[in-house]
Structure 1
């Protein structure tokens, strides 16, 4: 389903800094680190979210966001760019499928933007390990999980570094991912049991990348879920989010934009793209 057989697994594992893994070892059933078990799922998920930033720069630059695996691989792996949820989780799904996991998609509603009912625009994954489902998501930006979360035990609190998550259940089997910020639990997104396929993400991606009402349209968005401080650059505002609920904010001007992208998010763009991004950023001053 996820074109895992087409993925350059060696290049992907090198990109995320995964130690000791290779396509040959997967095909041979060794080493142990690449078996479709829970330890591997944790390790790959954590390495992926540590290495690849969330970003929607192509939308801001007026370019189409391609979701075929080869295009995603060129951009996120070989060109060392980041991506948003459809790209990130499609790549993760392909890698997990290649390793031997059973992976299915879900569509989620973002609940961080107010009390209204938003459309389904977020892509997440459900991965089966020894008969139990686990939520995997490498594409929710700075508030997203760094590791898988169990779905078979709704309500259980899961500590990930200095951050705590839980998944609670609502009527109709809807599951809600929540994040503890300070002393307050906050909903991140909600998803139903309905399975989504890659072609469904093509439709969602079309809205997110081109509709004028999309939260990515005409706006710079780059985020990173650190172990301690979480970082987000939205428009001109750089936010550093702390586990205790504190948020530090500063304004990023055009002259410092490229340095901030490199230092805070590990992103370095080709000269032409960098110049165009700075021009757009300066035009909004």
Structure 2
């Protein structure tokens, strides 16, 4: 499995504004270091689908060097397989022990998809942790121990829960077990199943096939939707307090239980400007032309007759 070089790791740490000696901290306080890395990463590296729309070829590479150039070199992010593969190579470069596994996402009214999600499983002192920097606003914002029934605080007031269980609506074999991640919007809200994953290590070839399907099938959420998301930290960058979401024709900020549309987008020029304004993402003229003619292109509404 690939690990980034010391020079690449140093560039990345500078990019996310990591304070202190990460290598020393990873050795002395690995869970603290991992938690800080995930928090800073998700606030700096967006979860986004832009290259499936603002591109001539609309193909996504999982090659580690391509990912480094895209994320650290050009200030972009990616969807789950991109950002989690990238983060895995960073963690290996810092000496963490981990592997990547596959997951299935639950779509409302549809059920579980096929294998189309990647997670990282990091082992610290004989305890495995779920580390996922690529599931958007409903993903865990910090490492989650693989302990059946473990509940955690997400982006307040949301909560999360991890269970090791049989899926009565999916499994035909009653002995099957998967790790199931669920969330609730508030302590009084119902639990919603988000995705499940297994502890089997997936190999690069597995993710290549998963990536091919996810980036090309017309039914893919990422193919259909222009989206970009990053987390919001408090003033001391110590806690995740919200999310900033660009989805199709709006930018929404959610901090705690409060949510507001901060900008309604009515044209491609306005959406391109919003990406630079809120995410520091600058699209080249060639990239901007890549969306012309696609269903996802944001066209000004025609005036009423």
For each residue in 1:196-254, what CA deviation from the matched residue of structure 2 results, as whole angstroms up to 9, or x when unmatched? 1222111111111112222222431212233333233232244444544x654564211
For each residue in 1:14-68, what CA deviation from the matched residue of structure 2 results, as whole angstroms up to 9, or x when unmatched? 111112347xxx4xxxx33565711111111111111101111111134221111
Deviates more, 1:235-244 or 1:91-100: 235-244
User: 1:279: Cα distance to partner?
Assistant: 7.7
- Aligned equivalent of 1:134, options 129, 148, 151: 129
Matched residue, 1:222: 228
Matched residue, 2:89: 94
Contact 2:75-2:280 at 8 Å conserved across structures: no
Matched residue, 2:244: 231
CA–CA distance in structure 2, aligned partners of residues 17 and 278 of structure 1: 36
**Comparing both structures, which one devotes a greater share of its residues to helix?**
1
- Aligned equivalent of 1:198, options 194, 201, 204: 204
For each residue in 1:140-167, what CA deviation from the matched residue of structure 2 results, as whole angstroms up to 9, or x when unmatched? 122222211111x222221245242221
Deviates more, 1:125-134 or 1:111-120: 111-120
CA–CA distance in structure 2, aligned partners of residues 259 and 21 of structure 1: 36
CA–CA distance in structure 2, aligned partners of residues 113 and 262 of structure 1: 32
Q: Does 2:192 correspond to 1:186?
A: yes
The residue correspondences of 1:171-182 to structure 2 (distance < 5 A) are 171=166, 172-182=176-186
Matched residue, 1:13: 13
Contact 2:103-2:197 at 8 Å conserved across structures: yes
CA–CA distance in structure 1, aligned partners of residues 134 and 222 of structure 2: 14
- Aligned equivalent of 2:217, options 211, 214, 237: 211
Contact 2:26-2:95 at 8 Å conserved across structures: no
CA–CA distance in structure 1, aligned partners of residues 19 and 6 of structure 2: 21
CA–CA distance in structure 1, aligned partners of residues 289 and 20 of structure 2: 38
Q: Does 2:61 correspond to 1:66?
A: yes
The residue correspondences of 1:235-274 to structure 2 (distance < 5 A) are 235-241=248-254, 243-244=256-257, 248-249=260-261, 251-254=264-267, 255-274=269-288
The residue correspondences of 1:112-123 to structure 2 (distance < 5 A) are 112-123=107-118
CA–CA distance in structure 1, aligned partners of residues 220 and 107 of structure 2: 14
CA–CA distance in structure 2, aligned partners of residues 118 and 80 of structure 1: 30
The gaps in structure 1 that reach 5 residues or longer are none
Contact 1:112-1:187 at 8 Å conserved across structures: no
Matched residue, 1:49: 42
1:114/1:104 CA distance change after superposition, 3 Å: farther
Q: Over aligned residues, Cα RMSD in angstroms?
A: 2.5
Contact 2:266-2:299 at 8 Å conserved across structures: no
User: 1:76: Cα distance to partner?
Assistant: 0.4
Contact 1:107-1:192 at 8 Å conserved across structures: yes
SS in structure 2 at match of 1:139: coil
